[in-house]
Amino acid sequence: MNKFEEYKLIHQPLTVIDDILRYAKTGFDTIEEEHFNLFKWYGIYQQRPKDGYFMMRIKVPGGRITAQQLRLLASLTRQYARGISDITTRQTFQVHWLRIEDMPDVFAQLASVGLTTLGACGDIVRNITSCPVSGLDGGELFDTRPTVDRLQAYFYNNPDFANMPRKYKIAVTACPVQCVHPQINDLALVGAKNAKGENGFHFYVGGGLSTQPHIAQNIGVWLPEKQALDGARAVSEIYRDSEQLRERRTHARLKFLVAAKGAEWFRDEFVSRLGYTPEPAGPSTLADDTYRDHVGVNRQSQPGLNWIGCCVLAGRLTDRQMAAAADIADEFGDGELRTTNLQNLLFPNIPTDRLTDAQDALKAAGFEWDVPNIRRGALACTGIEFCNLALVETKQRLKEIITYLETAVETDRGIKLNVNGCPNSCAHHYVGDIGLQGCIAKLPNGEKVDAYDIHLGGQLGSDPRFTRPIHRKVPADSVKYAIENIIKRYQETRDGDERFSVWVHRYTNEQLDSFLGVPTIQGAPDVPASAASV
């Protein structure tokens, strides 16, 4: 058992809230170093450079948030977080600049509208992600919201699952596109009908990215919707009780157990935990193409209603935008909003006869939906602005790259551009079309500059592949030109409607490198990347 495991046994992580409230009175300088790690269970991390300020992540299960909750978040963002808040790739909100003294009021205010940070970080069930148009989309197999709610209610503040070997991510989807990317979660429930046409789920286990990416494996069983929680509990128990995973923290994710033991072994364990034999899974329902950015105006499955998906580049919102979004959702919709795992924001349930007025209000608040394709699918992690593991800047860099590309190239379909500040892949650069992994390069004159390894060709769905690193240590200022070059080449030579990632796989690394057109930095030594995993 590694040292942190021993520590977790002594200090039950769910009780750390008492310590947080105590430290709020005694001050930052009184916090015991070891307690910082347990703060994560309540969604709090020290932000870079660990000088008294905290990041806080607020859970939004399934990406569904009410106008009242968003308005409260806007107010907290204004009061405590210097006016900025980020939508994350797990559909949560993340704020910065909080002080330990702020925590009691922040927690109380969040609780007053039914929001929580419990389980947003730490070795626990993280925010459960789901399709942001669940219940709205005519193409979905069925509405997954009841399943998300059932799982959320069961795992929330559940002491039986509050000390997992490591972070534990669950996704639920019954959308044919699977834009929620179930295969990179520890556990994914993927909608499928059985031979009788009943709604239910296939179970995928052991996915995850970080520094060692794995694709989740289908364990070959089907459970009806009503028994989805039985299955989720069985998988969670297997993970929780895997003592060998608690030996090395760097190898404690479920993916390592699944990779070592295999899907068949996992299915046998699953059945024994379940206590009954589930139906075998029918044909796979994985999608051919999982690209969907939810940006634009779309008709809902409910006649006369629409959702508008707005592009929030790098996920960053101001408190004013958040407050305006809440007002717009109240005035033109039914007071509900959705966050997406591409860091965008959706306004559902807008009547057709109010669409024009809603769009005018959105424009006035700085929201956009009719944007170039290259902007729609862009993602950025937190990066060096606040993240202790970061090597380089991400969000501002993404804005600079996108602003340039919008004038330099035209794309007639979405391309996923994922910008990460280190190898940990919080912005999923292993599964983007174009993934940038932050690093430091040393120029021939000895100067050290921000740089990115350029990865190409990630895709999920029925033929999953991780990106291939094509060119290492491209100075950050040159990256946009390399991306321009490769997109132009793609546009010129692709076969009809061929996706970017499929086009990439026609070529060798050397060919792709030549398409990027960036010179190699001669003699640049490797600067060790962060090997830590968050």
Least distance (Å) between residue 423 CB and ligand SF4: 7
Nearer Cβ to ligand SF4 (135/421): 421
**Which DSSP string do the residues of 401-469 spell out, in sequence order?**
HHHHHHHH---SS---EEEESSTT-TT-TTSSSEEEEEEEEE-TTS-EEEEEEEEE--B-SSS-BPPEE
Buried b or exposed e, range 382-391, using 16+ CB within 10 angstroms: bbbbbbbbbb
382 counts as binding ligand SF4 under rule CB under 6 A = yes
Nearer to ligand SF4, 64 or 90 (CB): 90
Is 64 within 8 Å of 294 (Cβ atoms)? no
Closest contact distance (angstroms) between CB of 352 and ligand SF4 is 40
CB of 336 or CB of 393, closer to ligand SF4 = 393
Regarding 534 and contact with ligand SF4 (CB under 6 A), the answer is yes
Q: Does 389 bind ligand SF4 (CB under 6 A)?
A: yes
Residue 210 as a binder of ligand SF4 (CB under 6 A): the answer is no
Residue 168: closest CA among 90, 98, 97: 90
Q: Does position 188 bind ligand SF4 by CB under 6 A?
A: no
Please tell me the chain's helix, strand, coil percentages from 3-state DSSP, rounded to the nearest 5: 40, 20, 40
CB neighbours of 4 closer than 8 A, spacing ≥ 6? 37, 249
State both tokens at 198: 């009943």
208 touching ligand SF4, by CB under 6 A? no
- Using CB under 6 A as the binding rule, whether residue 422 contacts ligand SF4 is answered as yes
Choices 260-268, 386-394, 441-449, 512-520 (CB under 6 A): range interacting with ligand SF4: 386-394
Q: In angstroms, give the least distance from the CB of 450 to ligand SF4.
A: 12
DSSP for 365-390, please give it: TT-BSS--HHHHTEEE--GGGT-TT-
Binding to ligand SF4 (CB under 6 A) within 241-300 occurs at none
Using the contact rule CB under 6 A, the part of the chain among 49-57, 131-139, 212-220, 382-390 near ligand SF4 is 382-390
Are 224 and 200 contacting, i.e. CB atoms less than 8 angstroms apart?
Answer: yes
**Is the CA virtual torsion 66, 41, 260, 528 positive or negative?**
positive
Q: Which is nearer to ligand SF4, 120 or 381 (CB)?
A: 381
Q: Single out the segment in contact with ligand SF4 by CB under 6 A; choices: 112-120, 152-160, 414-422, 486-494.
A: 414-422
- Residue closer to ligand SF4 (CB basis): 91 or 199: 91
Binding status of residue 381 toward ligand SF4 by CB under 6 A? yes
Structure tokens at 474: 């491209």
The distance of Cα 462 from the centroid of its chain, to the nearest Å, equals 20
* Minimum CB–partner distance for residue 357 and ligand SF4 (Å): 38
Per CB under 6 A, 383 contacts ligand SF4:
yes
Residue from 207, 421, 458, 461 that binds ligand SF4 (CB under 6 A)?
A: 421
Of 424, 459, 467, 478, the one binding ligand SF4 (CB under 6 A) is 424
- Per CB under 6 A, 315 contacts ligand SF4: no
Angle ∠(93,299,129) on CA atoms, nearest 5: 30
Q: Which alpha helices (DSSP H) does 81-221 contain, by range? A: 103-112, 145-155
By CB under 6 A, what part of segment 430-469 binds ligand SF4? none
Residue 419 makes contact with ligand SF4 by CB under 6 A: no
Q: What is the SS3 assignment for 391?
A: coil
Q: Does 387 bind ligand SF4 (CB under 6 A)?
A: yes
58 membership: H or E segment, kind and range = strand 54-58
From residue 217 to residue 236, the character string flagging contacts with ligand SF4 as x (rule: CB under 6 A) and all else as - is --------------------
Asked if 426 touches ligand SF4 (CB under 6 A), the answer is yes
Is there binding between residue 390 and ligand SF4 (CB under 6 A)? Answer: yes
The answer to whether 189 touches 216, Cβ cutoff 8 Å, is no
| Backbone angle region of 496, left / alpha / beta, with phi > 0 → left and psi within -120 to 50 → alpha | left
Cα–Cα dist 289/438, whole Å: 27
47, 88, 285, 420: residue in contact with ligand SF4 (rule CB under 6 A):
420
Closest separation between CB of residue 207 and ligand SF4, Å?
A: 17
Closest CB to ligand SF4 among residues 147, 530:
530
* Nearby residues of 464 by Cβ (< 8 Å), 6 or more positions away: 183, 215, 431
> How crowded is the C-beta side of 163, counted as CA atoms within 13 Å?
19
> Minimum Å distance from CB 181 to ligand SF4?
16
- The binding site for ligand SF4 (CB under 6 A) comprises 381-383, 387, 389-390, 420-422, 424-426, 534
